[in-house]
């Protein structure tokens, strides 16, 4: 097991989390795809998928900007898998969600999408 990157998961911003994995300031790119719903009725379970068509992708990150800590998950991409992963995340409130691909040369590319969270009965 590699050491858990605590500082990445304590980062408050997208840029700081990306930096913790050796990525430069992220730029928006059509080569990265984020799949997430427009509206999440239940913020406790929000499906999110990150994919990239860039060559030499090393890490795929999924982040929620307005969560207490932005980083949700980091995936290490190898040649043996497609740069396409999906999981489910928690969201405290309506926020931009980011998928970031960090390539082996340290460049970071992102796609983002706003996901509205409506918490049933809580006036969200």
Partner 1 sequence: MADPMRIRAQSQGGNALVRVLMSHEMETGQRKDSAGKIIPAWHITEVTAAHNGKPVLTAEWGPAVAKNPFLQFTVKGAKAGDKIAVTWKDNKGDTRTDEATVS
Would you tell me which residues interact with partner 1 (CB under 8 A)? 1-2, 4-5, 8-9, 44-47, 49, 64, 67-69, 71-82, 84-91
- 27/93 with CB nearer partner 1: 93
Strand 108-117 to strand 27-28: parallel, antiparallel, or no bridges (unpaired)?
A: parallel
- 27/45 with CB nearer partner 1: 45
> Two tokens at 59?
């890490």
Shortest Cβ 84–partner 1 spacing (Å): 6
Shortest Cβ 115–partner 1 spacing (Å): 13
The DSSP 8-state label assigned to residue 56 in this structure reads: T
Do 51 and 111 meet the contact criterion of CB atoms below 8 Å apart? no
Shortest Cβ 104–partner 1 spacing (Å): 15
Shortest Cβ 28–partner 1 spacing (Å): 22
Do 77 and 60 meet the contact criterion of CB atoms below 8 Å apart? yes
> Two tokens at 77?
């991409």
The DSSP 8-state label assigned to residue 6 in this structure reads: H
The C-alpha atoms of residue 58 and residue 43 are separated, in whole angstroms, by 29
- 27/124 with CB nearer partner 1: 124
- 64/108 with CB nearer partner 1: 64
Do 48 and 60 meet the contact criterion of CB atoms below 8 Å apart? no
């Amino acid at each position: 097991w590699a050491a858990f990157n605590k500082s990445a998961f304590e980062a408050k911003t997208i840029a700081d989390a990306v930096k913790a994995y050796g990525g430069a300031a992220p730029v928006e790119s059509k080569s990265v795809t984020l799949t997430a719903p427009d509206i999440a009725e239940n913020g406790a379970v929000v499906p999110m998928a990150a994919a990239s068509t860039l060559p030499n992708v090393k890490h795929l990150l999924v982040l929620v900007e307005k969560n207490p800590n932005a980083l949700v998950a980091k995936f290490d991409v190898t040649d043996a898998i497609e740069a396409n992963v999906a999981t489910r995340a928690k969201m405290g409130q309506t926020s931009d969600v980011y998928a970031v691909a960090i390539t082996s040369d340290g460049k970071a590319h992102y796609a983002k999408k706003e996901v509205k969270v409506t918490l049933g009965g809580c006036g969200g």
